[in-house]
Amino acid sequence: AQSVTQLGSHVSVSEGALVLLRCNYSSSVPPYLFWYVQYPNQGLQLLLKYTSAATLVKGINGFEAEFKKSETSFHLTKPSAHMSDAAEYFCAVSEKGGSEKLVFGKGTKLTVNP
């Protein structure tokens, strides 16, 4: 069974600082991995996804994530936080050749301080 663990339910950074949101996955087969963002009072939208084409994936709004098979990780980073990055971020996994269902982590709420 697939699962996702997001370390840290809340992360706080200063504007201009590095953003690092951690995600570890468990999957018995090669996974597809996703990061979604939820702004206040909105639905989720896709930031980026890993489908095995390249281990470093670039997404929207300056975010990127690196797939590390040896560490079963897919951490999300952004070099310089902006106030508009304040949101909740969800990591999700699905199985290659599987049912295309997403399994979500519990989310990390990012606060950006001025």
Partner 1 sequence: DADVTQTPRNRITKTGKRIMLECSQTKGHDRMYWYRQDPGLGLRLIYYSFDVKDINKGEISDGYSVSRQAQAKFSLSLESAIPNQTALYFCATSDWGEANEQFFGPGTRLTVL
**Residue 17 or 22 having the CB closest to partner 1:** 22
**Residue 43 or 114 having the CB closest to partner 1:** 43
List the Cα angle 25/23/45 in 5-degree steps: 105
| Residues shown for the chain | 114
Q: Do 89 and 112 form a contact (C-beta atoms < 8 A)?
A: no
Instruction: Single out the residue of 18, 20, 46, 60 in contact with partner 1 (rule: CB under 8 A).
Output: 46
Q: Evaluate the CA torsion angle 25, 32, 79, 36 in order and state its sign.
A: negative
**Residue 19 or 92 having the CB closest to partner 1:** 92
Number of residues that bind partner 1 (CB under 8 A): 24
CB atoms under 10 Å from CB of 6, counted, come to 20
Q: Phi/psi of residue 52, each to 5°?
A: 90, 0
Site for partner 1 in 4-23 (CB under 8 A): 9
* Cα–Cα distance for residue pair 4/17, rounded to 1 Å: 26
**Residue 79 or 98 having the CB closest to partner 1:** 98
106 lies in the site for partner 1, by CB under 8 A: yes
Instruction: Single out the residue of 42, 70, 83, 114 in contact with partner 1 (rule: CB under 8 A).
Output: 42
* Residue ranges in contact with partner 1 by CB under 8 A: 9, 32, 34, 41-46, 49, 51, 90, 94, 96-97, 99-107
